[in-house]
A and B are shown apart, each in its own frame.
Chain A
Amino acid sequence: MKKLLLILPLLACVIAIQVVCSSTDTLYYLTQMTMSAYYSLLIIGLCVLMGYAGQISLGHAGFFAIGGYISAGLTTHSLIPFKDNALVQFLDSSGLLLAGQTLYGEELLVVSPGLACAVAIIAAAVIAVFIGIPVLKLKGHYLAMATLGFGIIIYRVVLAVEYFGEADGISEVPAFPLFAGLSVSGSFGDRVSNYYIAWGILLLGLILLLNLIDSRVGRGLRGIHGSEEAADAMGVHTARFKLQTFVLSAVFAAVAGVFLTHYNGGIGPSEAGVMKSVRYVAIVAVGGMANLWGALLMGVVLNFLSLRGVFGSYDDAVFGLILIVIMLFAPNGILSISFRHRLMQLFGKGKQKRDGEA
Chain B
Amino acid sequence: MALLEIKQLHKRFGGLHAVTDVSFPVEAGQIKAVIGPNGAGKTTLFNMISGTFPATSGSVFFQGKELQGKKPYQVAALGMARTYQNIKMFSGMTALENVMVGCHVQSSAGFMASMFRMPWTWKEELAIRDRSMELLTLLEIEEHADTDASSLAFGQQRAVELARALAMDPTLLLLDEPAAGLNIYETAEVGRLITKIRDLGITVLLVEHDMSLVMDISDEIVVLCFGEKIAEGLPAAIQKDPEVIKIYLGED
With a cutoff of 8 Å between Cβ atoms, the chain B residues found around residue A93 in the complex are none
Size of interface on B: residues with Cβ below 8 Å to A: 39
From known contacts A222-B90, A230-B88, infer whether A236 and B111 are also in contact, taking CB-CB under 8 Å.
Answer: no
Q: How far is the CA of A230 from the CA of B102 in the complex (A)?
A: 10
Asked if A211 lies at the interface with its beta carbon under 8 angstroms from chain B, I say yes
B window 73-90: CB within 8 A of A: 73, 75-77, 81-82, 84, 88-90
Chain B residues whose CB sits within 8 angstroms of the CB of A209 once the complex forms: 115
Q: Which of B1-9, B121-129, B195-203, B206-214 contacts A (4 or more CB under 8 A)?
A: B121-129
What B residues does A223 contact at CB under 8 A? 90, 93, 101
In whole angstroms, how far apart are the Cα atoms of A163 and B160 in the complex?
57
Q: Which B residue sits closest to A4, measured CB to CB?
A: B117
Which residues of chain B have C-beta atoms less than 8 A from A171's C-beta? none
Smallest CB–CB gap between B157 and chain A, Å?
12
Closest to A289 in B: B92
Check: A229 CB closer than 8 A to any chain B CB. Answer: yes
Task: Decide if A230 touches B92 in the complex (CB within 8 Å).
Answer: no
B110 interfacial by beta-carbon distance below 8 Å = yes
Bound form: Cα–Cα A220–B114 in Å:
12
Contact A238–B73 (Cβ < 8 Å): yes
- What residues of chain B lie closer than 8 Å to A237, measured between beta carbons? 73
Query: Given that A211-B114, A212-B114, A215-B121 are contacting pairs, would A234 and B76 also be in contact in the complex, using a CB cutoff of 8 Å?
Result: yes
- Give the CA-CA distance A217 to B86 in the complex, in Å: 25
Is B137's CB within 8 Å of the partner chain A?
no
Cβ 8 A contact of A235, one of B104, B109, B121: B104
- Which residues of B lie under 8 Å from residue A215 when comparing CB positions? 109, 114-115, 117, 121, 125
- Which residue of chain B lies nearest to A54 when distances are taken between CB atoms in the complex? B92
Among candidates B52, B82, B114, residue contacting A217 with C-beta atoms closer than 8 Å: B114
Once A208-B115, A244-B111 are accepted as A-B contacts, the answer to whether A235 and B93 lie under 8 Å apart by CB is no
B100 at the A/B interface (Cβ < 8 Å)?
yes
Question: Which 6 pairs across A and B sit closest by C-beta, in order of nearness?
Answer: A226-B90, A235-B105, A215-B114, A235-B76, A230-B88, A227-B88
**21 A-B residue contacts at CB 8 Å?**
A209-B115, A211-B116, A215-B114, A215-B115, A215-B121, A215-B125, A217-B110, A220-B104, A222-B93, A223-B93, A226-B90, A229-B72, A230-B89, A232-B76, A233-B52, A233-B76, A233-B82, A234-B101, A235-B76, A236-B104, A248-B111
